Amino acid sequence: MKVQITNSHFIQHVWTALTVLASVFCAVYAAQAQQPSIVPAPMSAVTTPGTIQVKNGAVVSYPEGDAQASFAAQHLVELVQRTSALHLVARAVRTGAHTDALIAITRTVPIADSEQIEAYDLNILPTQITISAANDAGIYYGTVTLWQLLTAQDSFHDLVELHCMHIHDQPQLRWRGIMLDSARHMQPIEFIQQLIDWMSLEKLNTLHWHLTDDQGWRLEIKQYPKLTQIGSQRELKAITAIMDRTTLESHQYGGYYSQEEVRKLVAYAALRNVMIVPEIEMPGHASAALAAYPEFGMADTHLTAPPDEYGIFPNLYNVNDASFTFIENVLTEVMQLFPSPYIHVGGDEAIKNQWKSSPTIQDEMKQLGITTEDQLQSYFIKRIDTFLTEHHRRTLGWDEILQGGLAKNAAVMSWHGVQGGIDAAKLGHDAVLTPVRPLYFNYRQSDAADEAPGRSALNTLSDVYTFNPTPDVLTSEERTHILGVQGNLWSEYVISPDRVEWMLFPRAAALAEIGWTPPDRRNWNDFLQRMTVEARRYRKLGINFDPAVFRVRSTETLQPDHVHVTVQLSNQTGFGIVHYTTDGSTVTASSAKYESPFNLTLPSPLRAATFAPAAGAEAVVIPGSELDRKLDALSERKRYSQELKLCANDPAIAMEQDPVQPGRPVILANYQRPCWIYKAADLTGVDGISVGMVALPWVFHGTNNATPPLGESHTVTGEVEMHLDTCTGKLLATIPLEPAVGHVGVTPLHASLHDLSGIHDLCLNVIRPKTNPLWVIDWVQLYPSTHN
C-alpha cells in the first residue's frame, strides 16, 4: 500500500517530531533560557538546545513574486532598524532557495479553515530562523514575533543572540479590535495610519471606525455633499467669548476624510492584517446628518449645524421611504470604500420622543402592526439588514438592536456589560464583547494627579487583563458565536492624538493578550514582566503610552513639626523593585531600595524609579516609571483636583480646555456640582489659600437639556466658598471669580485665613450664576505663615 503525504501533513509530522524532541531537552534548557518576551503570549513556545546569532547584514529571504511575504520581510527590516542597532537585508529568492538566508519566510499549503488563517510557525535553529504560514496574516504575525524577540534586550549592539525555540501560534478569538471615535474629535489620517501600525504589532486585527455622530460627519459621500459641507463642522466658542458675552470670538471645528484617503487607509491596513469596519450611526446619533439634510429627520425645528455639546440628543431619522433611500445610498458608497464583511449601523441610545409625538409615525406603526417604538427601531434595523444582506454584507450594531427583535443576519456589539453578547449567542447570532467596564478606554487608567482626561472611573490595565472574553454561562457551541473583544475609545474628552495614544497603550496590549492567548497561557505577573520590555519598544516607536502600572507614586505625611515628612513609595501593581535617592542624584539599581516608609527633612529632592529584574543581568529601569519631585513646605500643602475628593462622584470627568491651551491642565470635576474636599488639611500656622481656577466650556447635554443647580451667587461672575469640615460648616472664605474672567488657562485666586489650627477637611464649592462657563479648580494651595 502506498501512502501519500501532503505538504500540510509533512509539516504536521515535522512539528510533532520537534515537539517530542523539545520535550526531552526542555527541562535542561529552560533554566538557561529566558522566557520569550512576546506580547501577546503565543499559543506554544518550546525552548530547544542551542543559540543563533543575528548580525548586521543578515538576509531575510522571501519567495519571489509573493507580495505579502515581500511586504512582511521589508516591514521586519524597517522595524528592527527603527528599534535597535541591527540592520537586516530583505531579499527575494526562488522557491526552495532559502539556504543562504539566516531568516527565511516560507509559504505552506493555504488553509481554508477560518480558525487557522492567522496561524504561523517560528522555528529558531542554530543555523537558521524560519517563519512559515499558509496565509498572509500568519506571515505578517510571524515577522512581528521575530521582531519582538530581536528587540527583547535593552542594548544597541549590532549582534543579537537568540535561544533556539519553536513557536506555534494562532489566536483564540477572531475579532481583536479597537474602536476609534473620529466623530467628536477628528484625528489626522497620518495618525490613524500610525495607530494601525501599532495595533498590528500587538496582533490586533480590527479598527472599528466611528465616523458619524451628533457632533460630526467625517466621511465624504459624493451623492450628498452637504454631509461634509455642513455636517462636518461645528462651532466652538472661545472661552473668552463664553465668559464675556461682548466677545464674539469663535472658530469652526471639524473636517472629514476624503474617499481617496479612505481607500489608501484601507489598503494600508490590509497589508498589516487590520480590517477597518466603518460605523454609520442610525436611527439616533444623527444630528450632524440631519443638520445637512433635515428632510430625512423628524424635528419641526431644523438644525443648522451639529451641536457643540455631548450627550444623547433626540434627533432621529424618519422611517419613510425617502429616508431609507438616503441611508441606502450612503451605505452604497460606504460599501464601495470598505471591503469589510461587517457594516456597523450603531443603533444605540435612540431617544424615541420624536417618533412617539409624530401622528404620521404612529399611523405608520399601526399599518406595520407595530405597537412600541422599540419594535419600530427593530423594523428600521431589519430593513437596513435586508439591504446589507442583499449586498453580501453583515449588519453589526450596539446591543440595543436586540430590543424589539434582532435582525436576521445581524451581529451584536455588547457594551452594556456582556449580557447582550450572551443573549445574541444564545439566539445563534455572533457577538463582540466590548463592555463599558473594563473595555472603555476613555476611562482613566489611574487616579494619579497627572492622569490624562477621561471618565472618572478607572479601567486599569489589570481590569482589562482579567476580563473573561468567553462567558462561562455559554455552551461550547454558543461560545463559537463570540467573535472576540474590543476596546472602545470615545473622544469627547480625548481631544488630540497624543491623548489617544496615552489612553490606548498599554491597555491595547492587555486587550490583545486576552483575545489572542489561551486562558491557560495567560499569567498576570508574567505579562507585567513582558510589558517592561514592551514599554521599551513603545519608547523606541515613539508611542506616548501611560506608564501608570509601573510609575512610582509618593505619599507624604507632614509631621507635627511641619519640618519633616514621612514618605511612602508605591506603584499601581506592586511589580518590580523601587529604588530612590534624596540627594538629587540619578536613580540606579545601586540606589537605596525602598522597603518601608522613611522620613525626610524639608526641603528635599526625591527621585525614584521601578526596576525590573533581568535574568542573569542587573535590574533595568522601566521606561516611564520615574518619579522626580522637590518636596518643600508648599508642595506638602498643595493638592491637584485629581487628589481632592469630589463632593459628589457621579457624573465626574477629568477634562481639559477645548481648544487645547498651553500647559494643558487636566481637572477632575463633577460638572453638575463643581465642589471639592481637601481631606485632612493641617491648618496649624496657615494664614492663606490660593485656588487655581480654570474656565471650561459647558459641553454637557443632559436629559431634556435640564440646567443643574447653580447655587445662590452673590456676584455677577460667581465665587468659591470655602467651609470648614463639611460643605455646610463654618464659612472660612469667599473667593470671587471676577479676577479670572477673560483669562485663558489657570488663574490663581487668593484669600486670607485666620485663627486656624488642627487637622480639618476643607470644602470648596463653586457658586456660579450660569452654567457656561463651567468654573473648576485645578489645584488648592495652603500657605503657612512662615512663607514669604
Q: Choose between 69 and 155: higher pLDDT.
A: 69
- Phi, psi dihedrals of residue 297, rounded to the nearest 5°: -110, -165
Closest of 542, 547, 517 to residue 532, by C-alpha: 547
CA 221 to chain centre: 28
pLDDT at 1: 33
pLDDT tens per residue, range 540-556: 999 999 999 999 999 99
What's the whole-model pTM score? 0.93
Instruction: Print burial letters for 314-345: b (CB count within 10 Å at least 16), e (below 16).
Output: bbbbbbeeebbebbeebbebbbebbebebbbb
pLDDT tens per residue, range 602-646: 999 999 999 998 765 678 899 999 999 999 999 999 999 999 999
Which secondary-structure segment (H or E) carries 80? helix 67-83
Q: For residue 25, what are the contacts with CB-CB under 8 A and spacing of at least 6?
A: 47, 48, 49
For residue 248, pLDDT beyond 80? no
Confidence label for 114 from pLDDT (cuts 50, 70 and 90): low
Confidence label for 712 from pLDDT (cuts 50, 70 and 90): confident
Q: For residue 738, what are the contacts with CB-CB under 8 A and spacing of at least 6?
A: 715, 716, 717
Which secondary-structure segment (H or E) carries 198? helix 189-201
Catalytic hit among 75, 210, 285, 481: 285
* Partner residues linked to 720 by β-bridges: 735, 766
Q: What percent of the chain has pLDDT over 90?
A: 85
pLDDT tens per residue, range 552-594: 999 999 999 999 999 999 999 999 999 999 999 999 999 999 9
Please give the average per-residue pLDDT across 312-336, as a whole number.
Answer: 97
Instruction: Tell me the DSSP string of 452-481.
Output: PSEEEEE--HHHHHT--SS-TTS-HHHHTT
> Comparing 61-75, 251-265, 462-476, 609-623, which segment has the lowest mean pLDDT?
609-623
DSSP conformational letter for 341: S
pLDDT tens per residue, range 115-172: 789 999 999 999 999 999 999 999 999 999 999 999 998 766 789 999 999 999 999 9
Instruction: Check if 628 is active-site.
Output: no
CA 671 to chain centre: 23
CA 182 to CA 187: how far, in whole Å? 6
- The dihedral over CA atoms of 300, 303, 308, 312, expressed in degrees to the nearest 10, equals 40
Catalytic hit among 136, 213, 400, 721: 213
Please give the average per-residue pLDDT across 666-686, as a whole number.
Answer: 96
Please give the average per-residue pLDDT across 234-253, as a whole number.
Answer: 81
SS (H, E, C) 206-268: EEEEECEECCEECECCCCCCHHHHCCCEEEEECHHHHHCCCCCCEEEEECCECHHHHHHHHHH
Q: Are 741 and 719 in contact (CB under 8 A)?
A: no
Instruction: Check if 450 is active-site.
Output: no
pLDDT tens per residue, range 172-187: 999 999 999 999 999 9
Burial of 394 (0-12, 13-18, 19+ CB in 10 A): middle
Confidence label for 706 from pLDDT (cuts 50, 70 and 90): confident
Taking only Cα atoms into account, the Rg of the chain, rounded to an integer number of angstroms, comes to 29
pLDDT tens per residue, range 387-431: 999 999 999 999 999 999 999 999 999 999 999 999 999 999 999
For residue 198, pLDDT beyond 50? yes
Q: For residue 361, what are the contacts with CB-CB under 8 A and spacing of at least 6?
A: 298, 318, 319, 354, 355, 376
CA 86 to CA 216: how far, in whole Å? 45
pLDDT tens per residue, range 117-132: 999 999 999 999 999 9
Catalytic hit among 197, 244, 349, 498: 349
Place of cell 489608501: 264
Q: Which three cell numbers stand for residue 671?
A: 460638572
pLDDT at 245: 66
Instruction: Tell me the DSSP string of 352-412.
Output: -HHHHH-HHHHHHHHHHT--SHHHHHHHHHHHHHHHHHHTT-EEEEEGGGGTT---TT-EE
CA 36 to chain centre: 26
- Phi, psi dihedrals of residue 361, rounded to the nearest 5°: -65, -40
63: three-class secondary structure by DSSP? strand
Please give the average per-residue pLDDT across 264-288, as a whole number.
Answer: 98
Confidence label for 714 from pLDDT (cuts 50, 70 and 90): confident
Instruction: Tell me the DSSP string of 474-538.
Output: S-HHHHTTEEEEEEEE--SS--SHHHHHHHHTTHHHHHHHHHHS-GGG--HHHHHHHHHHHHHHH
pLDDT at 615: 61
Place of cell 450628498: 224
For residue 113, pLDDT beyond 80? no
Q: Are 234 and 308 in contact (CB under 8 A)?
A: yes
Q: Measured between alpha carbons, how far is residue 24 from residues 20, 31, 121, 620 in Å?
A: 7, 14, 20, 33
425: three-class secondary structure by DSSP? helix
Mean pLDDT, rounded, of the chain: 92
Confidence label for 529 from pLDDT (cuts 50, 70 and 90): very high
Q: Are 158 and 56 in contact (CB under 8 A)?
A: yes
pLDDT tens per residue, range 362-380: 999 999 999 999 999 999 9
Q: Are 541 and 601 in contact (CB under 8 A)?
A: no
Closest of 478, 460, 462 to residue 470, by C-alpha: 478
pLDDT tens per residue, range 491-510: 999 999 999 999 999 999 99
Please give the average per-residue pLDDT across 65-88, as a whole number.
Answer: 96
For residue 26, pLDDT beyond 50? no
Confidence label for 9 from pLDDT (cuts 50, 70 and 90): very low
Instruction: Check if 618 is active-site.
Output: no
329: three-class secondary structure by DSSP? helix
Please give the average per-residue pLDDT across 642-670, as a whole number.
Answer: 93
pLDDT at 116: 85
